[in-house]
Amino acid sequence: MTGPHIGIHATAWTATVVLGLSSVGVLGAGTARADDPIDSLSARQIADRSSDALRGAHSMHLSTRSTPADGGTPTTLDLIVDRAGNCTGSLGLGGKQGSVRIVKRGDTVWVKPDAQFWKSRDSRVGSALASILAGRYMKGSASDPRLSNLASACDLAAFQTVVSDNAKTDKGTLTKGRKTTLAGTPVVPLVRTWHGQKVTMYVAATGKPYPLRIDVTGGSPKADATVAFSAFDKPVPTTTPPPDETVGINAQETRAT
C-alpha cells in the first residue's frame, strides 16, 4: 500500500476562477485618472483596474460553486488564503465524493476528510483510515505527494500569477452595465459574451475596485459557476488543530496496512 493518498486535484477550483477572470480582465485599455469614479470609466478600464486590485491583494476569502455539465452535484470551495500559502477552509467534492477540511501554515498541512469521502475510496482502506482518524485531522508536509494536490489550493500567489497571465484576452464582447448593488455594496457589472458563454463580473464601485463576484453561465461544454471574493487583506487565522485532534499521515499509513 502507498498510504492514504488524498488525490484531489485542487486545480479544478482554480480553473473555475480563472475561467471568469480570463474572460473579463482586459488590460491596456486606454488612460484614466486615478481619482475618476469607477462607473465613469469604460468597461476595459474598469476590468484593468479590477485585475490590478486583485493581483495586489495579500490575502482574501474565496468562495466558489461550480455545477458540472451533466447537472450533477456542485463542487464547492470556501477558503481564506494568503500569498504565503497559508489557508483555512473546506472543499466540497460533489456527488458522493464527500468534503475535506483543510488548514495550512507554512509547509505543514492538516486535512480532515468526512465519512463520505472515505466511503467513496477503496472500501477496505477507507474504512480503516476513517476508524483510525476518528474525526481527527491528518497532518503532514505540504510537499508530501499524498497531500500536495490538496495543499496547492492554498497558493494564492500562484492563482494571482495565473490571473495576470490570462488577463489580456480580448475575446468576445465586453460591455459595462449600470451601477447597482450587490449585497448592499455599490458595484459596476461587466459582462463578456463569447461562444455562447456569459461571464458577469461585479466590480466594487467604492474603495479599491476589487471584483466581488463572478458568474459564469453557458458555453460549450456548459459551465455554470459562481466565484465570490471578500475579506481582502484580512489575515488568515493562525489557529491550527491541536495535537489531540491530529494523527500523523505516516502513522496512519502504518496502521492502515
Domains assigned to the chain: 11-256 (2.50.20.20)
Spatial distance between the Cα atoms of 240 and 16, rounded to a whole number of angstroms: 28
- DSSP letters of 64-123? EEEE-TT--PPEEEEEEEETTS-EEEEEE--TTS-EEEEEEETTEEEEEE-HHHHHTS-H
Spatial distance between the Cα atoms of 98 and 59, rounded to a whole number of angstroms: 27
pTM: 0.83
Amino acid identity of residue 213, one-letter, is R
User: By CB neighbour count within 10 A (0-12 exposed, 13-18 middle, 19+ buried), where does 185 fall?
Assistant: middle
Predicted local distance difference test score (pLDDT) of residue 22: 46
Predicted local distance difference test score (pLDDT) of residue 225: 85
Nearest to 203 by CA among 92, 45, 34: 45
H/E segment holding residue 62:
strand 59-67
Per-residue pLDDT for the chain (257 aa), expressed as one digit of tens each? Answer: 344 455 444 444 444 444 444 444 433 344 455 667 888 999 989 988 988 898 899 999 999 888 877 767 788 889 999 999 999 999 888 878 888 999 999 999 999 988 888 877 766 667 777 777 888 999 999 999 888 888 888 888 887 777 666 555 566 788 999 999 999 999 999 998 888 888 899 999 999 999 999 888 887 777 788 889 999 999 999 999 999 999 998 765 545 44
Dihedral sign, Cα of residue 72, residue 103, residue 160, residue 47: positive
Predicted local distance difference test score (pLDDT) of residue 1: 35
Predicted local distance difference test score (pLDDT) of residue 130: 78
